[in-house]
């Protein structure tokens, strides 16, 4: 912490101030903050103490299962599901967003209908529908090129389909917001240079929309990490499926939920740090201070030498 009060949002002032003699001022006393902190710490200590010393939680079971082979395999499936569902969801989301903003009325309506359908129904319901697809489409494909649905739609495939197709609807809205946030003058200048709409979208609009798209996409990834736990209902072999299976045998329900929680927290935390890095990368060419996520601010505060105010400066 610097010796003077540093209100949030004015961090860039420090860059200008740095060239002068730093101001030395007695900070405003913040007694309320100290009292609040003391209360919170006391409550937290009490909670940790009651959990740690709880006779009903066998910590040894938690320890035994934390790095257990099946659990780690489940962890890997969770990562796989998250990555694949997000990649497919983002790709399809971009297509849907571009369709939604197209001049072609048919494309616009198709995209609108898709978003309406997939955002309007619970992902759990969609998951069960894909899993039970064979009930109403026993075979899929055309004529000779068809296959038994149950052979094709394994639990993992059903899970992936449900998560990816649902995610696409949300990503479409995120991408659309990003595209609309780009100054229309950019597309106009590209058009005036003879670039087609497709080329303009790819080379000019989408790269600039990324800056707006990335923060909410990061949130989508974190949400997806957690949403993958729903695939428990179809037994797709993810982290929660595996820990639940173990708990069903040894009846250590809470212990294995703690194991699962531990790994979910590790995944979301590791990801949040990566996210901050990505956001800085895509701020290229942007003037002035831009809105930074909490994680970025924390990161920025950890690096004393970093000049506040964005990567371009």
Partner 1 sequence: MTAPMVKGVPMVKAEGVHKSFGHVDVLKGIDLEVAPREVFCLVGPSGSGKSTFLRCINHLEKVDAGQLYVDGDLVGYRRSGDKLHELREKEVAAHRRDIGMVFQRFNLFAHMTVLENVMEAPIRVRREAKAVVRARAEALLDRVGLGAKADSYPAQLSGGQQQRVAIARALAMEPKLMLFDEPTSALDPELVGEVLDVMRDLAESGMTMIVVTHEMGFAREVGDALVFMDDGIVVEAGHPREVLANPQHGRTKAFLSKVL
Q: Tell me which residues touch partner 1 (CB under 8 A).
A: 183, 185-186, 188-197, 199, 203-204, 207-208, 284-288, 312
Q: Is 209 or 299 the residue whose CB approaches partner 1 more closely?
A: 209
Phi, psi for 183 (deg, rounded to 5): -50, 125
What's the closest the beta carbon of residue 103 comes to partner 1, in angstroms? 9
Is the Cβ of residue 208 or residue 227 nearer to partner 1 in the bound state? 208
Please report how close the Cβ of residue 198 comes to partner 1 at its closest, in angstroms: 9
Nearer to partner 1 by Cβ, of 121 and 196: the residue is 196
User: What is the nearest approach in angstroms of partner 1 to the Cβ of residue 287?
Assistant: 4
Least spacing, CB of residue 105 vs partner 1, in Å: 16
Task: Please identify, using beta-carbon distances, which residue of 10 and 196 lies nearer to partner 1.
Answer: 196
Which CB sits closer to partner 1, 102 or 223?
102
Query: Shortest approach of partner 1 to residue 311 CB, angstroms?
Result: 10
CB of 210 or CB of 221, closer to partner 1: 210
Q: How far is the CB of 210 from partner 1 (least distance, A)?
A: 8
């Amino acid at each position: 912490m610097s010796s003077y009060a540093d209100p949030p949002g004015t961090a860039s002032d420090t860059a200008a101030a740095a060239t002068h003699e730093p101001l030395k001022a007695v900070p405003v006393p913040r007694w309320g903050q100290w009292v609040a902190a003391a209360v919170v710490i006391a409550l937290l200590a009490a909670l940790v103490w009651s959990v740690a010393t709880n006779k009903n939680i066998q910590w040894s079971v938690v320890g035994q299962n934390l790095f257990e082979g099946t659990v780690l395999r489940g962890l890997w499936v969770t990562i796989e599901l998250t990555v694949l569902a997000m990649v497919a969801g983002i790709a399809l989301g971009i297509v849907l967003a571009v369709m939604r903003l197209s001049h072609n009325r048919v494309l616009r309506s198709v995209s609108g209908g898709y978003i309406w359908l997939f955002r309007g129904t619970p992902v759990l319901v969609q998951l069960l529908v894909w899993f039970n697809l064979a009930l109403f489409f026993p075979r899929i494909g055309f004529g000779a090129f068809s296959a038994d649905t149950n052979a094709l739609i394994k639990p993992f495939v059903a899970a992936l389909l449900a998560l990816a197709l649902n995610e696409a609807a949300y990503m479409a809205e995120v991408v659309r917001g990003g595209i609309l946030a780009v100054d229309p003058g950019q597309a106009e200048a590209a058009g005036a240079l003879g670039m087609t709409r497709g080329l303009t979208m790819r080379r000019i609009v989408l790269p600039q929309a990324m800056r707006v798209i990335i923060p909410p996409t990061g949130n989508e990834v974190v949400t997806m990490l957690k949403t993958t736990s729903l695939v428990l209902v179809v037994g797709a072999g993810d982290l929660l499926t595996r820990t639940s299976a173990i708990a069903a045998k040894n009846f250590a329900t809470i212990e294995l939920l703690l194991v699962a929680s531990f790994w979910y927290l590790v995944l979301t935390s590791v990801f949040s740090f990566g996210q901050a890095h990505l956001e800085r990368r895509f701020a290229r060419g942007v003037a002035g201070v831009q809105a930074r996520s909490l994680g970025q601010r924390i990161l920025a505060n950890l690096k004393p030498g970093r000049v506040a105010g964005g990567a371009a400066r």
